[in-house]
Structure 1
Amino acid sequence: MADLVLERLLADETETARLGEDLAMSLRPGDVLALKGDLGAGKSTLARALIRTLADDAGLDVPSPTFTLVQSYDTRVPVHHFDLYRLSSAAEIDELGFDEALLQGAALVEWPEKAEAYLPPTAVLIELTHHGDGRLARLSGQGDAFKRAARSLAMRDFLASAGWGEAQRRYFIGDASARSYEIVSRDGFQPLVLMNSPRLVLGPPVRDGKPYAVIAHTAQSVSAFVAIDRALKAGGVSVPAIEAEDLEQGFLLLEHLGSESFLDGQGQPVNGRYQAAAELLAMMHGRTWADRLEVVPGVTHEVPPFDRAAMMIEADLLIDWYVPAITGGPPSDTLRAGYHQEWNALFDRLDGSEYTLMLRDFHSPNIIWRGERSGHDRLGIVDVQDALIGPSAYDVASLAMDARVTLSPEIEKQTLAAYIAARHAAGAFDESAFVEAYAIMAAQRNSKILGIFVRLEKRDGKPYYLRHLPRIRDYLRRALSHPALARLRDLYTAHGLLEERTL
């Protein structure tokens, strides 16, 4: 396979350092960046900027590894800076612990020609040559590392088109999807958030010839975010203003709503904040929301329904991933048939429930607390692209049984009480029907999450999600205590699905 190639003209040392910053934003463990160029071509400038970006420390001392041969840095992505100039043979790279370094992080290699064939074929080669008063950077390679680097450079181009080409980029947050976020800042302006939302890659067909994401109605492009965000803002919800957009590439430049967590300084739930969020949901659920929303003039987004197929395929994540993890084998036909029978009976009970705009992941990671403001404006809401039209009870369950933080039964009850009181105050409200729908949606959501967190570990190599499983099992037990879910609770109990497990 022929290498892909990108070129960048770098007018001065500042632009060389900016390229290092852009490459740092794309770096992942296992990546190799090979820096090639004559003395004075800018390799050290680029390497220093890359390492300082990863460390988020503009003053970090980054000495040349010419004599030590390798310098290691415990940064966001651990990076090992190799200088192979003094190697007498390519085989000596083994003695420097090169393979071990890639198991721990990424490698930045100067004088890569000294390594001959010892560098992996997925290495990204960055050749720096003098070009007039500046430099020419030529990037070549193949595989994911090169594609990520190319996308990061495209993000810089997007910033330039929005007037933010000289902005500093720093990692902000990633999530369980392919989306990631950065903080971009420049003198004299408030920082903004750069959202990187590549088009969803659909997996193989899993049911009725359709991929999982199609059945579950997962957002496939950034257009969904734009449409939902603008609808929510028009409806009185504090969501990020969109400063610039590239819908084709999946880049957005967003208002930064703040950095204060919805939780306290120790990551613990604050009862009053959960009640405020419940009251915001009550306001939203008292409104009428369109299911056909404008993205840009002439382009619309159809908000999908949270239909039976979507509910079931999500619930099936428990059967498909969690059950094999705790039993060591696939679920029996008896378990699968009984599982589907009981869930279908519960979905029948949702007929006639109140349906509204359902944000789907309305919980602490997606809520910014802005205590200096008043009313609903104290809550900044992010990550809204996967919204559906579904039972209003679902988002309340997402909030009151927060998947990322342990809410005591008391806080759960008070959060529910705040929501119910606000709904009653706004007009007629069927509390009994809501409480039953809440239990069904809480059981469905927590069943799904047990499966998702195991899938993230088994399929995606993200084991840190497993630490949440005891909390999710506890939430599931709470949901199943509602009388309407007695048969499902008996099924889960008979098959040991509620027992504490160590995976």
Structure 2
Amino acid sequence: MRAEFVQSAGWGNAGERLLAGDASFRKYYRLVRPRESAVVMDAPPPQEDVRPFVRIARHLIALGLSAPQILAEDAEHGFLLIEDFGDDTYARVLAAGGDEAELYGRATDVLVELYRAGEKSLLPGLGAYAGDALIEAAMLLPEWYLPEATGKPTPAEEAASYVAAWKECLAALPATAETLLLRDYHKDNLLWLPDRPGVKACGLLDFQDAQRGHPSYDLVSLIEDARRDVASDVHAACLQRYVTQAGIADAAGFRTGFALMSAQRHARIIGLFVRLLRRDGKPDYLPHLPRVWRMFERSLQHEALSPLRRWVDRLLPPPLRRIGAA
């Protein structure tokens, strides 16, 4: 079936090799022929649906950003032929000694562009990652991490008090315009394209789950990476860069939102990494837990998060935060 799609797209004479799969059912293949290449996304239905990727990719390109061009598509069978951005993911470039400040600064500029686009950044029908949706995602902490740390199920009343704490925290979130969230905006889904100008130097992938929500969320994903230490000066510079270049009028309010999105993301990931171990048999994420806990604890110091901080201190005192520590 894939061979038929490749043939119909006019690439039947190209060499093919498997690039990678990811946590989903998707697989990627690089097609190579003299002087050009392209990538096949094989995302078999019903488990996968390529249409959101196509829709968001074309939208991002229309906004002046670097998402892959869609060269051919067969949504019914789950195939796309997309522009090849190469192998220089941020993760690879950083590991090879790339300029951290430049890379993260350019990725921050992409988020500024989305903010500046205002309502134009949004598409009809996008789900909202806000309110109850944020709390539901953060339930992974009491549902998976707390039982792992204590050796016993989380009492229903403590799960309820966790929800209540989150509702109190989110009630303190200053009102702000929503923007497009790419959701997994981090080093593994960003490509360095240095021959392109400005924000186009940052190539975007894995955005098919995009939603709308607080503009700080993707910035948290970028500079508070669960699997990589970002230099403190780079973290501070990117946060200030966003506030300044986006023209945020209420800088303190934005930083409150940043702390809330930070706490939500890290609470979710702390639980997720334990779920990956216990449900999916994947222990490789546990060594990253101490880093995520450090970032979670830092975000909890913000006064807007005091209800959640009290819950965490009561149910998960420091000795219970050491899963994954060497």
1:260 corresponds to: 88
Relative to structure 1, is the Cα distance of residues 336 and 265 closer, same or farther in structure 2, using a 3 angstrom cutoff? Answer: closer
Structure number with the bigger relative contact order (C-alpha 8 A, sep ≥ 6) is 2
Corresponding position of 1:140:
none
Q: Is the 8 A contact 2:90 2:192 kept in 1?
A: yes
How far is 1:290 from its partner? 5.9
Alpha-carbon separation, structure 2, partners of 1:335 and 1:175: 35
Give the CA deviation at 1:173. Answer: 2.6
Q: Distance in 2 between matches of 1:170 and 1:458?
A: 33
Partner of 1:500: 322
In the alignment, which residue of structure 1 is the partner of 2:103? Answer: 273
Aligned amino acid, residue 139 of structure 2: D
In the other structure, the counterpart of 2:43 is 197
Would the alpha carbon gap of residues 289 and 461 (structure 1) be closer, same or farther in structure 2, given more than 3 Å must change?
A: farther
Q: Is the 8 A contact 2:65 2:199 kept in 1?
A: yes
- The whole-number CA distance in structure 1 between the counterparts of 2:277 and 2:16 is 29
User: Are the equivalent residues in 1 in contact too, given 2:138–2:264 (CA < 8 A)?
Assistant: yes
Cα separation, 1, equivalents of 2:42 and 2:151: 37
Gaps in structure 2 of 5+ consecutive residues: none
The 5-angstrom pairing of residues 290-301 of structure 1 reads 291-292=122-123
**Residues 265 and 314 from structure 1, CA distance in 2 versus in 1: closer, same or farther, beyond 3 angstroms?**
closer
The counterpart of 1:478, out of the listed 292, 298, 307, is: 298
Q: Give 2:144's match in structure 1, choosing from 300, 313, 321.
A: 321
SS at match of 2:213: strand
Q: 1:134-149 counterparts in 2 under 5 A? A: none
SS of alignment partner, residue 191 of structure 1: strand
Give the structure 2 partner of residue 421 of structure 1: 244
8 A Cα contact 1:245 1:253, kept in partner: yes
Indicate if the aligned counterparts of 1:364 and 1:404 stay in contact, CA closer than 8 A.
no
Classify 1:422/1:336 alpha carbon distance in 2 versus 1 (closer, same or farther; 3 Å): same
**Aligned mates of 1:422, 1:332 — CA distance in 2:** 46
Partner of 2:6: 159
Cα pair 2:38 2:81 within 8 Å, conserved: yes
**Does the 8 Å CA contact 1:198/1:250 hold for their aligned counterparts?**
yes
Gaps in structure 1 of 5+ consecutive residues? 1-153, 202-219, 294-301
- TM-score in terms of structure 1 length: 0.60
Query: Is the contact made by 2:288 and 2:324 (CA closer than 8 Å) also made in structure 1?
Result: no
**What is the match of residue 336 of structure 1?**
159
Counting only pairs closer than 5 Å after superposition, residues 34-45 of structure 1 correspond to structure 2 as none
Say which SS state the counterpart of residue 227 (structure 2) adopts. coil
Q: Distance in 2 between matches of 1:192 and 1:365?
A: 19
Deviation at 1:291, TM superposition (A): 4.4
Find out whether 1:286 has 2:116 as its counterpart: yes
| Candidates 116, 132, 142, aligned match of 1:309 | 132
Deviation track 1:128-176 (CA, whole Å, cap 9, x = no partner) reads xxxxxxxxxxxxxxxxxxxxxxxxxx22222122122343322223322
**CA shift for structure 1 position 196:** 2.0
Structure with larger Rg:
1
Match of 1:447 in 2: 267
The equivalent residue for 1:178 is: 25
| Cα offset, 1:183, TM superposition | 1.6
- Identity in percent: 35
Distance in structure 2 (CA, Å) of the matches to 1:290 and 1:280 = 12
CA distance in 1, matches of 2:78, 2:131: 30
Alpha-carbon distance in structure 2 between the residues aligned to 1:476 and 1:180: 33
Q: C-alpha distance in 1, partners of 2:111/2:121?
A: 17
Deviation at 1:189, TM superposition (A): 4.2
Give the Cα–Cα distance (whole angstroms) in 1 for the partners of residues 237 and 299 of structure 2. Answer: 16
Higher relative strand content: 1
State the partner residue of 1:363.
Answer: 186
**Counterpart Cα distance in 1 of 2:241 and 2:123:** 30
Output one character per residue of 1:95-136: Cα deviation in whole Å (capped at 9) or x when no partner. Answer: xxxxxxxxxxxxxxxxxxxxxxxxxxxxxxxxxxxxxxxxxx
Aligned counterpart, 2:278: 458
Question: RMSD of aligned C-alpha atoms?
Answer: 2.1
* Partner deviation per Cα, 1:233-278 (whole Å, 9 max, x = no partner): 0001111001111111221111011221314452677122112211
Residue type matched to 2:269 in 1? I
Report what 2:66 is aligned to.
Answer: 238
> Is the 8 Å Cα contact of residues 286 and 323 (structure 2) preserved in structure 1?
no
Single out whichever of 321-330 and 311-320 deviates more from structure 2. Answer: 321-330
Query: How many residue pairs were aligned?
Result: 320
2:175 corresponds to which letter in structure 1? G
Which one-letter code corresponds to 1:359 in the other structure? L
Amino acid paired to 1:501: I
TM-score using structure 2 length:
0.91
Deviations 1:337-381 (A, max 9, x none): 221011111222336222111111111111101223321111001
Provide the residue aligned with 1:12 in structure 2: none
Distance 1:481 1:410 in 2: 19
Deviations 1:380-406 (A, max 9, x none): 011110100111111111111012311
Closer, same or farther: CA 403–197 of 1 in aligned 2, 3 Å: farther
Quote the offset at 1:436 in angstroms. 0.5
1:443/1:479 contact within 8 Å kept: yes
